[in-house]
Amino acid sequence: MRWLYTTSHKDIGLLYLVFAFVGGLLGTSLSMLIRYELALPGRGLFDGNGQLYNVIITGHGLLMLLYMVMPALFGGFGNWLLPIMIGAPDMAFPRLNNISFWLNPPSLALLLLSTLVEQGPGVGWTAYPPLSIQHSGSSVDLAILALHLNGLSSILGAVNMLVTVIGLRAPGMKPLQMPLFVWALTFTSVLAILAMPVLAAALVMLLTDRNINTAYFCDSGDLVLYQHLFWFFGHPEVYILILPAFGIVSQVIGFFSQKPVFGLTGMICAMGAIALVGFIVWAHHMYTVGLDLDTVAYFTSATMIIAVPTGMKIFSWMATIYSGRVWFAAPMWCAVGFVCLFTVGGVTGVVLANAGVDMLVHDTYYVVAHFHYVLSMGAVFGIFAGVYYWGNLITGLGYNEGRAMVHIWLLFIGVNLTFFPQHFLGLAGMPRRMFDYADCFAGWNAISSFGASVSFLSVLVLATTFQDAVRVVPRTATTLEWLLPATPAHHVFSQVPVLRTTPSSL
C-alpha cells in the first residue's frame, strides 16, 4: 500500500527508477531483435515480415525515449534529488507527484497493447501521416493515447518541479547557489511545459483524422503540418532527454575532480541558451519535405548555433577536470565517457545541421548513428553515472568497483562497435527503418550487430554489479544530499535548513 499511495518524493523517485529499468529492459530486448535481424542480409528472424520489423523499431524508440530515459533522469533522479538539493522537505505538490508516476504504467500498458492488437503500430516513433492514418484498426489509436498519458505525466511533473524550485528553496539559497543538477531540471521542466502540449495537439489531430474524418493532414489538409507540429515538440524533447544528463555529469565531475565546476554562471547560461535556441530549430528534421530555400538556410544556421553553448559546456567540464585531484571511480568513468562520446555525437549533429549534406543522408543510418551517440552514449552514460554515484544513497546497495569497471568498459566497447560503423553505412546510402538491405552493406552491419551483443553482455554484468548493503558517506561533497544517511527517512528537513554564505564558500 505504501508504494501505491505514497506522497514521498523519495518513494516516487524510486518507483520511477524501477519503471525505467523495466522500460529499459523492454527497449533493449527490442534493439537486440533489430540487430539480430539486420546482422545478415536476406530473410532473417522476421522471415520477411516488414510490418513486424516496423512495429519493433517503433516500440524500441518510444520505450527507450519515453519509458527509460525520461523516467530515469527526470522522474527518478529528478524527483529523488531535487527537493533535497534545495533543502525542501518534499516537492511542492506531493500528490500530483504521485499521479505523475501512476499515469506511466497505464501508458506502458496501452503501448504494449497497441503492439498486440491488429497489425501493430508500424509507424516509427514519429508516427507520420499518411501511414499512421492508413493503419486501420486500433493499434495506432492505443499508441496515441499511451503518448497522451505519458505527456500529461511529464507536464504535471514539470509543473511540480518548477514550483518547487521557485517556492521551496531553503532560505538563504540564492538561485545561483542551486546545484547544476537543479538548474538542469529547471530548464528541462520549462522545455516540457512548453513542448509537450504541442505534441498533445498534434496527436489529437492525428486521432481525429483517424477516427472522425477530420481533414488536418489528409484530404484538404497538409501532411507537412504534422511534421511541423511534431518536430516543434520533437526538438525540445531531445533537449529534455539530455539536459538532466548534463546536470548529473556536472555534479559527478565536480565531485570527483574535487573542485567546483568551471564557470558556474557560464554553465547555467549555456543550458539556458540550449533550451531557448532549441525551440527555433525544429525544421532541421524536415529538410527533405520541400521547404523554401530561405527557410532551409535559416534552420541550417540556427541549428549550428546550438553547438556553441553545448561546446562551452564540454570545455568547462574539461577545465574542471584539468588541474583537479581526480578520483577515477565508476561514476567518473561514466561522466568522462559521456563527455567524449557526446562530443562525437554532437559533431555529427553539426554535420547534419547543414541542409546540403542532410539532403543526402536524411533517413539513412548516419542520422541513426548520430542520435544513438548522443542518446545511447550521452543519456545512457549519464544515467549510469547517476546510478553509480547516488545508487548507494538511494537504495543502500553498494557496488563492486571491479564489476562496475567491467560493465562500463563492455558497454563502452559495445555501443561504439554498434554505432560507429553506422556512420559509414549512412554515408554509403543505407536507408533507415528498413528490415533488409543491399548486400554491399553487409560488412558494417555484421560488426554493428556484434557490438550489440557486447552491449547485451554488459547488461548481464550490470545485473551482478550491485550487491551488499554498505554505507558510503563521502564527507567532501558540497551539495545537500550527502548530509543525509544512506536511505534517508521518509521526510527529511522537517526543520528547514538555512544557508548562510561565508566568504570562503563564494
Partner 1 sequence: MAVPLSLQGHMMSTLASANGDDKKEPTLAALAKEAPKVPNALAALPPRSTRAMGSGAHAAGPEAARDHYIEHTAKRHPFHVLPPSPWPLLAGWGSYVSCLGMVAWFHNLPYGGALMSLGIFNIFWTSVSWWRDCVIEGDMGMHTEVVRKNFVTGMWAFIVSEALLFVGLLWACLHLGMSPSVSLQMQWPPVGIEAIGWDKRALVMSAVLAASYYSANVAMVAKDPKVVMGALATTIGLGFMFLFDQYIEYNETPFTITDSAYGTTFFVTTGFHGMHVLLGSIFLACALGSYMRTHTKGAMLSSSVLYWHFVDIVWIAVYGIIYVGQY
Active site residues: 60, 90, 125, 153-154, 235, 237, 239, 250, 284-285, 310, 313, 432
Shortest CA distance to 207 belongs to which of 301, 291, 133, 294? 133
Whose Cβ is closer to partner 1: residue 52's or residue 146's?
Answer: 146
Task: Report the distance separating Cα 372 and Cα 416, nearest Å.
Answer: 10
Q: Does 282 bind partner 1 (CB under 8 A)?
A: no
Q: Does 51 bind partner 1 (CB under 8 A)?
A: no
Q: Does 325 bind partner 1 (CB under 8 A)?
A: no
Task: Report the distance separating Cα 110 and Cα 178, nearest Å.
Answer: 38
Q: E strand or H helix at 469, and its extent?
A: strand 466-469
Task: Report the distance separating Cα 292 and Cα 61, nearest Å.
Answer: 30
Among 77, 282, 389, 493, binds partner 1 (CB under 8 A): 493
Among 18, 40, 45, 163, binds partner 1 (CB under 8 A): 163
Shortest Cβ distance from residue 284 to partner 1 (Å)? 18
Q: Which residue has the cell 548516419?
A: 366
Shortest CA distance to 270 belongs to which of 325, 302, 304, 316? 316
Among 208, 354, 395, 400, binds partner 1 (CB under 8 A): 208
Q: Does 393 bind partner 1 (CB under 8 A)?
A: no
Among 36, 102, 409, 420, binds partner 1 (CB under 8 A): 102
Q: Which stretch binds partner 1 (CB under 8 A): 44-52, 150-158, 415-423, 454-462?
A: 150-158
Shortest Cβ distance from residue 56 to partner 1 (Å)? 21
Task: Report the distance separating Cα 272 and Cα 286, nearest Å.
Answer: 25
Task: Report the distance separating Cα 184 and Cα 121, nearest Å.
Answer: 34
Whose Cβ is closer to partner 1: residue 68's or residue 492's?
Answer: 492
Q: Decide: 116 and 52 in contact? Cβ < 8 Å.
A: no
Q: Does 308 bind partner 1 (CB under 8 A)?
A: no
Q: Decide: 251 and 389 in contact? Cβ < 8 Å.
A: yes
Q: Does 138 bind partner 1 (CB under 8 A)?
A: yes
Shortest Cβ distance from residue 148 to partner 1 (Å)? 8
Q: Does 84 bind partner 1 (CB under 8 A)?
A: no
Q: Does 200 bind partner 1 (CB under 8 A)?
A: yes
Window 214-243: contact mask with partner 1 (x via CB under 8 A): xxx--xxxx--x--xx--x-----------
Phi, psi of 175 (to 5 degrees): -55, -40
Q: Does 501 bind partner 1 (CB under 8 A)?
A: no
For the stretch 16-51, what's the b/e string if a residue is b when 16 or more beta carbons lie within 10 angstroms of its beta carbon? bbebbeebbebbbbbbbbbbebbbeeeebebeebee
Shortest Cβ distance from residue 35 to partner 1 (Å)? 32
